[in-house]
Amino acid sequence: MDSKRIDLLLERYWNCVSTQEEEAEIKAYFNSKVEIPAHLKSTAPLFQYFTKEGEVKMLDKAFDHDLIEKLKQQPKKGKERTLGQSFQNYMKVAAVIALVIATSFVFRMEIWQDDKPELFLVEDTFKTPEEAYAETKRALMLIASKMNHGKREVKKISILSKAESKIKGNRDKNSTATLN
């Protein structure tokens, strides 16, 4: 490789526009036994370092042995476990579906019960209007009698409150008299 070619590749390298192949070419050049031009002698160790560093192997067979033993001790991913896991997942899905069905069933029942009174409202309770009139009258009379009874009780309470206010008024008069 001529000096111009390597200068060009190095320029591309420093600007981070070189390809992996070009970088491999630079490494190969500096690791070969060719006479390196004086102006490139300072750069050579860098690429020699990259190559040597890439060849460093510090993990021996003992490491491999320890690792393989540890891998053998790892819990196996058996079929039973996978089936168990998938069964659990299916159960989860089934539970959610059951919950949705139950909720919708309860919801529908609620709606159905709400609809029911409306159906009864349109139904007649008595066969003739006279019968209905008599029943209504009876019901109103009952309400009126209960109300009258209630009014009498309220009257008693009003007497009590009048008496209370009178007592209060007398007390105020006595207290002003003693002050004077």
Partner 1 sequence: MSLEAFKTRVLPVKDKLFRYTLRILKNEDEAKDVVQETLIKVWNKRDEMHAYENMEAWCIRVARNLALDKLKSKHNKSVDIDNAYNLQSSTQSPYSSAEQSDTMSSIHHFINKLPNLQKQVIQLRDIDGFSYQEISDILKQNLNSVKVNLFRARKQVREQLIQVNAYGL
Binding site for partner 1 (CB under 8 A): 13-16, 20, 23-24, 42-43, 45-46, 48-50, 52-54, 56-59, 63-64, 66-68, 70-72, 74, 77
7-11 long-range contacts (CB < 8 A, ≥24 apart) are 7/40, 10/40, 10/43
Q: Do residues 6 and 26 touch, judged by C-beta distance below 8 A?
A: yes
CB 56 → partner 1: shortest distance, Å? 5
Quick one: 60 or 115, whose CB is closer to partner 1?
A: 60
The amino acid that residue 114 corresponds to is D
Quick one: 57 or 168, whose CB is closer to partner 1?
A: 57
CB 111 → partner 1: shortest distance, Å? 49
Quick one: 86 or 165, whose CB is closer to partner 1?
A: 86
What gap in Å lies between CA 178 and CA 42, rounded to an integer?
121
Quick one: 63 or 105, whose CB is closer to partner 1?
A: 63
What gap in Å lies between CA 44 and CA 36, rounded to an integer?
8
